[in-house]
Amino acid sequence: MLKLYNTLLRKKQIFRPLKDKKVGLYTCGPTVYDYAHIGNLRTYIFEDILRRVLEYNGYKVKHVMNYTDVGHLTSDADTGEDKMEKGARREGKSVWEIAEFYIKAFKKDAAALNILKPSLTPRATDHIKEQINLIKILEKKGFTYETKDGIYFDTSRLKDYGRLARLDIKGLKAGARIKMTEGKKNPTDFALWKFSPKNTKRQMEWDSPWGKGFPGWHIECSAISAKYLGQPFDIHTGGVDHISVHHTNEVAQSEAALGKVPAKFWLHGEHLLIETGKMAKSEGNFLTLNYLIEKGFNPLAFRYLVLTTHYRSKLNFTWRSLQAGQNALDTLYGKLREIKHETMRKVSSQSPAYYEKKFLSAINDDLDTPKALSVVWQIIKDNRLSSQDKKQLLLKFDKILGLGLDKIKPLKIPQKIKQLASQREILRINKQFIQADRLRKKIENLGYRIEDTSYGPKIIATRY
């Protein structure tokens, strides 16, 4: 049985979809004003593993991920500049050009990390009508009020506001979580619609019943998820930094408007740390995937590194840990090449079903990728398994791990090495051990080694 940790209840639960064998999955997508950093990408890898595990368990997944191309301000307090406008000014381009460029950049990163494409990738700017309609429902039900800069959600009208984040609303002073802006009734109230500044024309603005402006950040996810997945749907995911503000506000506005918490399960991935601090663009300490590639690393080495730590645990990024991930991945590829090259078959004395059960038990226990990886290495080291069984198991498990094992080609041994190995074997049979040892050393200097088995000599590459 698949068990997932539900942030809403703070415990693991057996996952059962709302509709038999069909899963609605919503993942908060990137704000496309800059490159995604590897901390962001860690979250998308975790979400990719989740989707792969669901599909491995036989579920048909409808995966929706939005692109935030408007409304995400530089402050959670609904103050500051829209990040899209800021990005456009920084690069001397239009906001539409900025969005297009960074969406393409994100797709390139996702492909390099072997992240499956979502079923749908709606943009916030294509769903302004849906967001306005949702705000109108909230207004009709008495959950909104107007200030000089926008339309706000009145959190005091919702009895259990903040339950996702376990917020102590009564003990929360103004400015304790987010700064109090002029006209707000409560420190936790948030913008649903922002008015365009007077005497200023924004690049992205729309007419609304309340005046020309643009949507707040939180409203897009509620409107988009409701349109494509209905309410409620099965699983909503994001980073842990979304819990206290963005996802808390999503729950509030969806519950107030539609009478239901939008998702049954809420899953959150922990931070990637760099020098013990959270990696973030605002902190100026972020690294991009392209930078890792320029340093000579396989992007899947980063994916491997991410899988070595449970998604709900902090992961400290260092160049040494990334190099370890690269080394492990290279070794894994090398072992698989050798396995694919082997033509001799034997009957396994160890049942492949034993490892299948062990792997599935790990991955179905709240996506325990470190334990799942350990099963992979146990398979590689197990001499009781035939090459054919090893290959099938590794390729099957990689449907979840996504390390690109299906693209690894069998090891091609040069004819010269085969001839030397054959000559050595003849010498060995004739008990000419000194001459045979000389050939063995020659073969090793050429990047291969000979392993003598009961089936005959086995050639293994030592450099790939």
Give domain status of residue 278, yes or no.
no
Give domain status of residue 276, yes or no.
no
Residue 241 in this model has a pLDDT that exceeds 50: yes
Residue 172 in this model has a pLDDT that exceeds 60: no
* Per-residue pLDDT at 180: 64
- Please report which confidence band the pLDDT of residue 173 belongs to, taking 50, 70 and 90 as the band edges: very low
Q: Is there a single domain that holds both residue 294 and residue 390? A: yes
Q: Is there a single domain that holds both residue 347 and residue 448? A: no
Enter the tokens of residue 144: 């909104």
CATH number of the domain that residue 22 is part of: 3.40.50.620
Give domain status of residue 393, yes or no.
yes
Q: Is there a single domain that holds both residue 157 and residue 207? A: yes
Q: Is there a single domain that holds both residue 333 and residue 229? A: no
Q: Which residue type sits at 217?
A: W
Mean pLDDT of the 395-409 span = 95
- Residue range of the domain that includes 177: 3-269
Enter the tokens of residue 352: 């492949």
Taking the CA atoms of the chain, what radius of gyration do you get in angstroms?
27
Mean pLDDT of the 230-246 span = 95
Give domain status of residue 402, yes or no.
yes
Per DSSP, helices labelled H in 198-342 are 217-229, 248-258, 289-294, 299-307, 319-341
Residue 447 in this model has a pLDDT that exceeds 70: yes
- Please report which confidence band the pLDDT of residue 345 belongs to, taking 50, 70 and 90 as the band edges: low
Q: Which residue type sits at 156?
A: S
Residue 384 in this model has a pLDDT that exceeds 50: yes
Mean pLDDT of the 216-225 span = 96
Nearest to 251 by CA among 273, 269, 266: 266
Q: Is there a single domain that holds both residue 332 and residue 451? A: no
Q: Is there a single domain that holds both residue 372 and residue 434? A: no
For 345-419, strand residue ranges (E) read: none
Q: Is there a single domain that holds both residue 218 and residue 158? A: yes
Q: Is there a single domain that holds both residue 21 and residue 165? A: yes
Across the chain, what does the average pLDDT equal?
A: 91
Percent of the chain with pLDDT over 90: 72
* Per-residue pLDDT at 19: 93
Enter the tokens of residue 431: 């008990």
Tens-digit pLDDT profile for residues 144-168:
999 999 999 999 999 889 888 887 6
Number of structural domains the chain divides into:
3
Q: Is there a single domain that holds both residue 396 and residue 260? A: no
Q: Which residue type sits at 94?
A: S
Domain-terminating residue out of 362, 386, 407: 407
Q: Is there a single domain that holds both residue 74 and residue 221? A: yes
Give domain status of residue 283, yes or no.
no
Give domain status of residue 60, yes or no.
yes
Q: Is there a single domain that holds both residue 295 and residue 248? A: no
**CA end-to-end span of the chain, whole Å?**
40
- Please report which confidence band the pLDDT of residue 343 belongs to, taking 50, 70 and 90 as the band edges: low
CB atoms inside a 10 Å sphere around CB 255: 21
Give domain status of residue 282, yes or no.
no
Nearest to 112 by CA among 280, 291, 278: 291
Q: Is there a single domain that holds both residue 398 and residue 432? A: no
Question: What torsion, rounded to 10 degrees, do the Cα atoms 222, 223, 227, 232 define?
Answer: 20
* Per-residue pLDDT at 169: 56
Q: Which residue type sits at 85?
A: E
Percent of the chain with pLDDT over 70: 92
- Rounded CA separation 365/296 (Å): 34
User: Which of 215-224, 246-255, 410-419 is the least confident region?
Assistant: 410-419
* Per-residue pLDDT at 81: 85
Q: What angle do CA 198, 68, 41 make, to 5 degrees?
A: 140
Give domain status of residue 437, yes or no.
yes
